[in-house]
Structure 1
């Protein structure tokens, strides 16, 4: 029997936090292992409990959710964790900073419970998750801020990828799931999963969010008009 996903809830509003606990503990494959009401507690509890997924609010006292995410999943983290940011804010800067801090997903608080549950499962599985309102255009603008010289021809960071892997990466950046990519390329979903895994390993990327950003940064995906 597979062990349930261990979830840590980081949210300063007690009522919202209680709602998350009820939602996740009602799932047969999840269990809430801890709660935090400020950023310092979030970091402390995450390092102590080592959950599978940290559900993180952005606006919290003492230390905001982005700073807490950076400590848990950013470049300096010894063992990066999977952080799902859930917030009321859709301002570009928050999305940029959450992605830069190492978040694996970004959802809005008005996401229905089923979507929130699916989000935790998606992030736990190592896939990226972005709210529908966080569009390809928005990700593209974020990537443009960090973009080095384009190398869509296979040079630069993409040099180690095969033509098929670059094609899969482009489709990942377009927001397609593994099943949708499989249908597009007329291959098995398991084959796509293998390609994605190899892409992440070759490019030393943690998850699909980082892969999407890199695809934009290298010019593999053209800038949004």
Structure 2
């Protein structure tokens, strides 16, 4: 069980993150702070294990806060959140972040990233430009059914396709996602925000 601190000046974003985290079994409590100063006071008092930091905090960069955490509370895992544009993985790593995510990602994808980081992982989306993984509408369709636990014959029946066609599409999806099985495909797709 982990204490999580969300640092963002927007109350709606704070409420959204609180809502996402309240559904997560590994979260003990979710603290919020609207500024760097308040975040630092809250962190010293409550000792969170995971901190989400917005890259724009009242004109001062959240990158600075990320660096401060890494310097003075090295045990804390920090996730940088960007609203506008995409933060490069190199930039995030340079400031000591363990992950970066976009505020525009689907709820399930944000929860998946945070869980991975809480478990000790690092998650950085591919740098700017089009998404690294581009699936056809049919491949996305099949991915969603596979991720929900259906077998290839069940997917074939549901989508009115031959088993051979489903197998071909499933293989293409695995190849594009760089995974070997259904569980990995579902996990990777959530990280990339491909699943609702």
Tell me, yes or no, whether TM beats 0.5.
yes
- Asked if structure 2 preserves the Cα contact closer than 8 Å seen for 1:8 and 1:34, the reply is yes
Instruction: Tell me which residue corresponds to 1:82.
Output: 77
- Asked if structure 2 preserves the Cα contact closer than 8 Å seen for 1:9 and 1:32, the reply is no
Instruction: Tell me which residue corresponds to 1:114.
Output: 108
Whether 1:22 aligns to 2:19 is: yes
Q: Would you say how many aligned residue pairs link Structure 1 and Structure 2?
A: 136
Match of 1:49 among 46, 49, 55: 46
Structure of greater Rg: 2
- Write the distance in 2 (CA, Å) between the matches of 1:134 and 1:128: 18
| Inter-CA distance 9–32: structure 2 relative to 1 (3 Å threshold) | farther
TM-score by length of 2: 0.60
| Inter-CA distance 118–64: structure 2 relative to 1 (3 Å threshold) | same
More displaced 10-residue stretch of structure 1: 22-31 or 117-126: 22-31
| Inter-CA distance 14–78: structure 2 relative to 1 (3 Å threshold) | closer
Matches within 5 A, 1:186-225: none
- Asked if structure 1 preserves the Cα contact closer than 8 Å seen for 2:86 and 2:128, the reply is no
- Write the distance in 2 (CA, Å) between the matches of 1:80 and 1:134: 29
Instruction: Tell me which residue corresponds to 1:66.
Output: 63
RMSD: 2.9
Instruction: Tell me which residue corresponds to 1:214.
Output: none
Query: 1:16-46, CA deviations, whole angstroms, 9 ceiling, x for partnerless residues?
Result: 1111101111222224331110122222222
SS in 2 for 1:129: coil
| Inter-CA distance 21–78: structure 2 relative to 1 (3 Å threshold) | closer
Uncovered stretches (5+) of structure 1, i.e. residues with no partner? 136-174, 184-225
- Write the distance in 2 (CA, Å) between the matches of 1:91 and 1:20: 19
1:103 deviation in Å? 0.3
- Write the distance in 1 (CA, Å) between the matches of 2:11 and 2:25: 24
1:112 deviation in Å? 0.8
Matches within 5 A, 1:62-211: 63-73=60-70, 76-77=71-72, 79-91=74-86, 95-133=89-127
